[in-house]
Amino acid sequence: MASVQVVNVSLPSLPSGWTADKDFKPIGGLSPATQRTIEPVGPHFLAHARRKRHHRTFSEDERIQAQNTVKKTEEEDEDDFSENEDPMMLQREAKDWKGQDHYAVLGLSKYRWRATPDMIKRAHRKKVLRHHPDKKAAMGQSDEDDRFFKCIQKATELLLDPVRRRQFDSVDEAADVEPPSKKDIAKKGFYKAWNPVFVAEGRFSNKQPVPEFGHEDSTQEEVENFYNFFYNFDSWRSFEYLDEDIPDDGEGRDQKRQTEKKNANARRKRKGEDIARLREMVDEVLASDERIKKFRQQARAGKDAKRKAKEDELKRQQEEKERAKAEEEERKKKAEEDAKAEREKNKKAKEAAKNASKKNKRILKGSVKDVNYFADGEPSAAQVDSVLTDVELIMGKIDVDELAALAEKLTIAGKDGGAVKAAYTAEAKRLVEAGKLKDGDVKVFA
């Protein structure tokens, strides 16, 4: 036990000369007493006042309040959950919960997989207020059958569990939309009749959002995206909800494994059948889709246009080659003709020049002959040979034009020996100056 220790502390002494009458000054005081009325508040007092006012007992007041609460809740939710309850559903055994329509139990048949968790909770609250055994007792109902209430609890428990709800949605046939009949298609139109079917199928897709089926004016890209999506559909349907119940722990382990294996095989089979069903349905729609036919016609028209353009281009190129070939042949032909004409012209010119040259040479040789080879009498052979040698030498050093010019001078000179010799002498001098002859090459005309 702890010991008690006493500490003696002395209070400080008052200043000398201090007195209460003279030195004490109050800084506040108590207000005067007043009388006020206090009213009781709170739910318990209100309930007490309500019972006193209406002269009710506790049980009577509770029953009436329960009725009012149910009525108020029904009025609030009338627009959202106004489904009438099936009498057969109210008689369902709770142990058969796996075969019940959980959405219908909560009054959510028209929402089903679209129902949000908040809607499920509100629907549950409404059903509980109506079917809870305590509420029934409070409302004076003597029926103690709580089977449907248990169904409500089971439906709420399952639908608020995302995994178990997905398992149920996987096999919820009430949410399926059957393919339209020919009558429905004729009445609504092909695209409006089929669109709800693919909306219902799209709820099973792991990939969201799901492309819309569209309408007759949808673009080719939109239509191709839709069919590519459903031909490669990634479904989350597992069909686990339909599994056979696995035996309790008391059963043999082999039987459990056999049941699990059987369930797995059944799920795979159902999965395969569902994929085949969807593929067959998409094939049927694709075969009847006028948009696909239109796109194929446009594609064929485009291909035909491209093919025709290609053929026209090849034809144009071929014609261009043939035209170029013809032009080349014509050019070659013309070039050959021009060359031939040029050759003929040159030949004639050469012949004319040759004839003129021969004529001019005859003139040169005839000019010295006409002047008797510059001799006064009969020229000797040596004199004739000397003159003709100089003439041949000069003719060999001059061109055709110079030959023609010299012949013209000699023609003018005629038979004037002096003039002829002077013409030859001048030409020989010019050739020497031009370096074509050397001094001493010519003898007679030096």
Q: What is the 3-state secondary structure (H, E, C) of the chain?
A: CCCCCCCCCCCCCCCCCCCHHHHCCCCCCCCCCCCCCCCCCCHHHHHHHHHHHHCCCHHHHHHHHHHHHHHHHHHHHCCCCCCCCCHHHHCCCHHHHHHCCHHHHCCCCCCHHHCCHHHHHHHHHHHHHHHCHHHHHHCCCCCCCCHHHHHHHHHHHHHCCHHHHHHHHHCCHHHCCCCCCHHHHHHHCHHHHHHHHHHHHHCCECCCCCCCCCCCCCCHHHHHHHHHHHHCCCECCCCHHHCCCCCCCCCCHHHHHHHHHHHHHHHHHHHHHHHHHHHHHHHHHHHHCHHHHHHHHHHHHHHHHHHHHHHHHHHHHHHHHHHHHHHHHHHHHHHHHHHHHHHHHHHHHHHHHHHHHHHHHHHHHHHHHHCHHHCCCCCCHHHHHHHHHHHHHHHHHCCHHHHHHHHHHHHHHCCCHHHHHHHHHHHHHHHHHCCCCCCCCCCCCC
Looking at this protein, which amino acid is placed at residue 41? V
Residue 12 has what pLDDT?
78
Of 138, 172, 206, at which residue does a domain stop?
172
Backbone phi, psi, residue 235, to 5°: -95, 145
Distance of alpha carbon 318 from alpha carbon 321, whole angstroms: 5
Q: Which residue has the higher pLDDT, 223 or 413?
A: 223
273 and 208 within one domain: yes
259 and 167 within one domain: no
Residues of the chain with pLDDT > 70: what percent? 91
403 and 376 within one domain: yes
pLDDT digits (tens, 9 = 90+) for 202-238: 999 999 999 999 999 999 999 999 999 999 999 999 8
Of 133, 153, 172, at which residue does a domain stop?
172
Residue 364 has what pLDDT?
80
Is 343 domain-assigned? no
Is 340 domain-assigned? no
Residue-range definition of the domain harbouring residue 146: 87-172
161 and 181 within one domain: no
Looking at this protein, which amino acid is placed at residue 320? E
Is 125 domain-assigned? yes
Is 296 domain-assigned? no
276 and 189 within one domain: yes
Residue 81 has what pLDDT?
59
Q: Which residue has the higher pLDDT, 194 or 257?
A: 194
Residue 130 has what pLDDT?
81
Q: Which residue has the higher pLDDT, 211 or 407?
A: 211
Count the neighbouring beta carbons within 10 Å of the beta carbon of residue 233: 19
Residue 142 has what pLDDT?
52
pLDDT digits (tens, 9 = 90+) for 290-335: 999 999 998 888 888 888 888 889 898 998 899 899 988 888 888 8
Torsion of CA 258, 262, 265, 271, to 10 degrees: -150
284 and 202 within one domain: yes
- Residue 76: pLDDT band by 50, 70, 90 thresholds? low
- Residue 77: pLDDT band by 50, 70, 90 thresholds? low
Residue 3 has what pLDDT?
67
219 and 116 within one domain: no
Residue 247 has what pLDDT?
67
Residue 74 has what pLDDT?
56
- CA dihedral (39, 43, 47, 48) positive or negative: negative
- Residue 275: pLDDT band by 50, 70, 90 thresholds? very high
Mean pLDDT of all residues belonging to the chain: 84
200 and 161 within one domain: no
Distance of alpha carbon 146 from alpha carbon 95, whole angstroms: 12
147 and 116 within one domain: yes
188 and 137 within one domain: no
Count the neighbouring beta carbons within 10 Å of the beta carbon of residue 295: 15
Q: How many domains does the chain fold into?
A: 3
155 and 102 within one domain: yes
| CB proximity list for 439: less than 8 A, separation 6 or greater | 432, 446
Q: Residue 167 belongs to a domain with what CATH number?
A: 1.10.287.110
Question: Is the link from the previous residue into 209 a cis peptide, with omega within 30 of 0?
Answer: yes
Count the neighbouring beta carbons within 10 Å of the beta carbon of residue 228: 11
Residue 118 has what pLDDT?
93
Is 441 domain-assigned? no
Of 232, 253, 288, at which residue does a domain stop?
288
Residue labelled with tokens 């509770």? 62
- Residue 192: pLDDT band by 50, 70, 90 thresholds? very high
Q: Which of 105, 68, 101 is nearest to 83 (CA)?
A: 105
Residue 166 has what pLDDT?
94
The encoded tokens of residue 130 equal 């109506």
Q: Which residue has the higher pLDDT, 284 or 340?
A: 284
Torsion of CA 278, 284, 285, 290, to 10 degrees: 160
Q: Which residue has the higher pLDDT, 355 or 185?
A: 185
Is 284 domain-assigned? yes
The pLDDT of residue 96 is above 70: yes
| CB proximity list for 120: less than 8 A, separation 6 or greater | 106, 108, 156, 159, 160
Q: Which residue has the higher pLDDT, 72 or 221?
A: 221
The pLDDT of residue 349 is above 90: no
200 and 168 within one domain: no
Distance of alpha carbon 384 from alpha carbon 375, whole angstroms: 9
Predicted TM-score (pTM) above 0.85 = no
Distance of alpha carbon 156 from alpha carbon 158, whole angstroms: 5
Residue 2 has what pLDDT?
56
Residue 226 has what pLDDT?
94
Is 303 domain-assigned? no
Is 199 domain-assigned? yes
**Which residues are registered as beta bridge partners of 235?**
205
Distance of alpha carbon 67 from alpha carbon 56, whole angstroms: 15
